[in-house]
Amino acid sequence: MFKALLLDNTHGFEAALQQVDESRLPAGDVTVSVQYSTLNFKDGLAICNKGPVVRSWPMVAGIDGAGTVLESSHPAWKAGDAFVHNGWGMGETHWGCLAEKARLKGDWLVKLPPAFTPRQAMAIGTAGYTAMLCVLALEDHGVQPGSGEVLVTGATGGVGSVAIALLGKLGYQVVAATGKAAEADYLQALGASAIIDRAELASAGKPLQKERWAAVVDAVGSHTLVNALAQTRYGGVVAACGLAQGMDLPGSVAPFILRGVTLAGIDSVMAPLAKRQRAWDRLARDLDLALLERMIEEVPLDGAITKAQQLMAGQVRGRVVVRVAA
Ligand SMILES: NC(=O)c1ccc[n+]([C@@H]2O[C@H](COP(=O)([O-])OP(=O)(O)OC[C@H]3O[C@@H](n4cnc5c(N)ncnc54)[C@H](OP(=O)(O)O)[C@@H]3O)[C@@H](O)[C@H]2O)c1
């Protein structure tokens, strides 16, 4: 038996910590012991039944996990190896890592970078690895530290916090858009050089606005993303990864066809292994671990449901680490 955060909808939606028999673990070629997991926005949606995240029931929650391999028939993995896992439908279509044990596919796993403990890897989690994918997209577009101001939306959230820390360390001039004015000190400590109220971006604006941003990392979507595009300088790039405000895109093509702005879509869930490895290698190089520590709030597995509710209510700053079996 192992402890798991099980989501079920047999008699209406229910999320509960339960003892689960190992015979119920899904198919896979690697069985792991999970030391740490985390709560991303998507975990919050799933655990609070706020969005169509779970597509097969019952489901063990948890899109991320880090720990040790127990058994493997996959050539790349053997018992005792340290792994980190993000996405691939885990916690959506395949039982996830908010559980003491999981059975996964060896092709999905990334070797835990030596730079990180399992706890730090989960402090990064999908949110932080996605922030790195966003920064890589800006770099691939040619943006450099001297290019000008870079806007980060959803700034105090997981993606936003890690993006600011990465960009700040790399020498970019980072402007953080937040709804939490009281967190200005936190954002500045991470590396933001200026802060704006997210309300400035939250409602419908003109299709082209005063050019300000050399680049944008957007975790918010909807009007915020449209206004960010409308304020991006000629030839700039906007990396769009999130929908905290909404999934809609209520804008015009003006920034694309009149300013040559690029909208770079960022997906972490199905990203190929080479891209993941590149992101984790760069996180090992470019993420200041002292700053990462400032972002972390740690809860035990039996505190995950309450914390997920707080995350969905906008009451969490930075990253939540879930201690599963450490
Ligand atoms: N594409 C991918 O593969 C991928 C991967 C990871 C995450 N995501 C998405 O990225 C987004 C952020 O994820 P996360 O883990 O960072 O979530 P999070 O920790 O909950 O942070 C989201 C942040 O967005 C801001 N926000 C919340 N509601 C808002 C609203 N109505 N309008 C404007 N801003 C709002 C808040 O920041 P402030 O209080 O500072 O304003 C909040 O802290 C989510 O939509 C998530 O689904 C996508």
How many angstroms from the chain centroid is the CA of residue 307?
16
Query: Residues spanned by CATH 3.90.180.10 within the chain?
Result: 2-112+293-323
CA dist., res. 172 & res. 143, Å (int): 10
CA of 75 to the centre of ligand 1 (A): 37
Give the residue carrying structure tokens 């919050």: 44
- pLDDT at site 326: 60
The topology under which CATH files domain 2-112+293-323 is Quinone Oxidoreductase; Chain A, domain 1 (3.90.180)
Gap between the Cα atoms of 6 and 149, Å rounded? 44
Average the pLDDT over 203-223 and give the result. 98
Distance 223 CA to ligand 1 centre (A): 14
295, containing H or E segment: helix 289-295
User: How close is the Cα of 40 to the center of ligand 1, in Å?
Assistant: 9
Give residue 231's identity as a one-letter amino acid code. Answer: Q
pTM recorded for the entire structure = 0.95
CA distances from 285 to 39, 138, 280 (A): 24, 17, 9
Q: Which of 48, 130, 226 to mutate to test the pocket of ligand 1 (most atoms within 8 A of CB)?
A: 130
Q: Which atom of ligand 1 is nearest to the CA of 243?
A: 45
pLDDT for residue 42: 95
- Looking at the chain, the domain(s) classified CATH 3.40.50.720 span 126-265
CATH architecture observed for domain 126-265: 3-Layer(aba) Sandwich (3.40)
What's the CA-to-centroid distance between 90 and ligand 1, angstroms?
Answer: 19
Task: Indicate which residue's Cα is closest to atom 39 of ligand 1.
Answer: 179
In whole angstroms, give the CA distance from residue 208 to residue 41: 30
| Residue-wise pLDDT tens digits, 59-77 | 999 999 999 999 999 999 9
Q: Rounded to the nearest whole angstrom, what is the distance from the C-alpha of residue 74 to the centroid of ligand 1?
A: 35
Nearest residue by C-alpha to atom 46 in ligand 1? 242
Q: How many CB atoms lie within 10 A of CB 274?
A: 8
Residue among 226, 241, 247, 317 to mutate when testing ligand 1 (max atoms within 8 A of CB): 241
**DSSP code of 100?**
S
What pLDDT digit, counting tens, does each position of 224-246 carry? 999 999 999 999 999 999 999 99
How far, in Å, CA of 85 to CA of 100, rounded?
Answer: 14
Quick one: how many helices (H) and strands (E) in the chain?
A: 9, 16
Whether 66 contacts 83, CB under 8 Å: yes
Q: Which of 202, 220, 26, 257 is nearest to 134 (CA)?
A: 220
For the segment 132-187, what is each residue's pLDDT rounded down to a tens digit?
999 999 999 999 999 999 999 999 999 999 999 999 999 999 999 999 999 999 99
Centre of ligand 1 from the C-alpha of residue 246, in Å: 10
Residues 6+ apart with CB under 8 A from 276: 86, 110, 129
- Which residues approach ligand 1 with their CB closer than 6 A? 40-42, 126-127, 130, 154-160, 178-180, 198, 202, 219-220, 224, 241-245, 266-269, 311, 314
**Does position 284 have pLDDT exceeding 90, yes or no?**
yes
Q: What percent of the chain has pLDDT over 70?
A: 100
